[in-house]
Structure 1
């Protein structure tokens, strides 16, 4: 339908998705590809990347993979330069990759702090610095970050993880202030609980998983496909007046 295409089509656009081989990142990458974007998936593991890419290509999508480490500045720079090779500069950058190190705060050492901040906060910052100005020059860009309930409330040993996600949402607001006057929006998706490899420790406790589902208003925990519509919307032309926002896709978890 032409009307819906004008609002939501990503045909001719390129999207870079970190953490794109599993969990929420994989769900978002699949949705953006389905909306017409050429997608570059970034993750550490080649096998999972290739499997995801094969599935997307089988559905007719244009897809490339970059194996990279986002825990160091040099690694992020290498990923960024490799990511532009298949399809050119991205129009959409989704930062979904993360680490979930959750020792009690009294046991957090500098290594845990540094690793968490490097992947969860500094990598999205560096990718924004690399791609945001170019998006602004072209007059179109979308920076989308994946945050957490721990950015807003402390539970389940939030520790440094919660700190990094709170800062990530603040980063999106700063990026919006910097570049939205020139067509670049920056927003954050805030999930509820999603059983993924990133939170395997919590996912392995049936009682806690059930308690988290009970806290939602829809009566279940989330799955990666729940983020498809919100991600396509934020990446699309129709979201040009939505920026600096933290959008909760959580089944009502945050208001219960």
Structure 2
């Protein structure tokens, strides 16, 4: 008897929010390499077009749809349009997010509201819009990008930590409500990775020295090292995994 490829994404369609660069684009590329047709989301059409062109140049099936994930109506309309014009969304990667750093006593209301809107509300809006279609089909995969800061805290990022902790528990709540309908909703939690968002920290020799000493793997993570975890959560290999947060952090969260 032939053994099915549990990690194949052939014939499946994946929407990746914040997919035009960094972790989102890397995950999209990884899903495409395993057979998925990917749809990149972001707010800048120019950046999305460049990312889509790069994926297509490498032989992958890729499309792009620009919309603001913090606008619930825009998210709902875009998801309905994708479902109607391109076909069912089988996989959602809720990756869009941002960071704001400041001493907690000086953190502004504007930055607080921006973090809540982008890191929490957008996850809810996209998951709800996509799940409404998945529920009728009795299947679907939702991957919410959490963080090592879903469990841990560091100075000057308490509001970010709050949002990522909320995403962890929102993931659990989604699984509690939707698993019985055939959906798998899980979190993927990166540790410290060399990304555009972390560029200032990467270039900070003192911070990098601290991180390498603090992390059992003794280095920054490479974004490509998130692909295997993302493919696992998007594929049939995780068919009975629900409400889980898969941490990819070189061991920083388990070692003092």
TM above 0.5:
yes
Could you tell me which residue of structure 1 aligns to residue 21 of structure 2? 22
Query: Shift in Å at residue 174 of structure 1?
Result: 0.6
Where do 5+ consecutive residues of structure 2 fail to align?
Answer: none
SS at match of 2:3: helix
Q: Structure 1 residues 232-241 or 196-205, which shifts more?
A: 196-205
Q: Which runs of 5+ in 1 are unaligned?
A: none
Structure 1 partner of 2:179: 180
| Alignment correspondent of 2:63 | 64
CA shift for structure 1 position 136 = 2.2
How far does the alpha carbon of each residue in 1:80-120 deviate from its partner, in whole angstroms, 9 at most, with x for none? 34544652231110011101012221122221121111111
Structure 1 residue matching 2:186: 3-state secondary structure: strand
* Counterpart contact for 1:186–1:244, Cα < 8 Å: yes
Task: Write out per-residue CA displacement over residues 33-81 of structure 1, whole angstroms, 9 at most, x where no aligned residue.
Answer: 0111110001123333222212221232211112222233344334434
Deviation at 1:185, TM superposition (A): 0.8
User: What residue number does 1:99 align with?
Assistant: 98
Task: Find the residue that maps to 1:197 and give its secondary structure.
Answer: coil
Q: How big is the alpha-carbon RMSD for the aligned residues of Structure 1 and Structure 2?
A: 1.7
Contact kept in structure 2, 1:38 and 1:87, CA below 8 Å: no
TM-score by length of 2: 0.92
Shift of 1:175: 0.6
Q: Which residue does the alignment assign to 1:88?
A: 87
Runs of 4+ with >6 A deviation: none
Partner of 1:3: 3
Higher relative helix content = 1
Paired residues in the alignment total 254
Give the corresponding residue for 1:140: 139
Contact 1:150–1:158 (CA<8 Å) still a contact in 2?
no
Residues 86 and 213 of structure 1: is their aligned pair in 2 closer, same or farther, counting only changes over 3 Å?
A: farther
Q: Is 2:228 aligned against 1:229?
A: yes
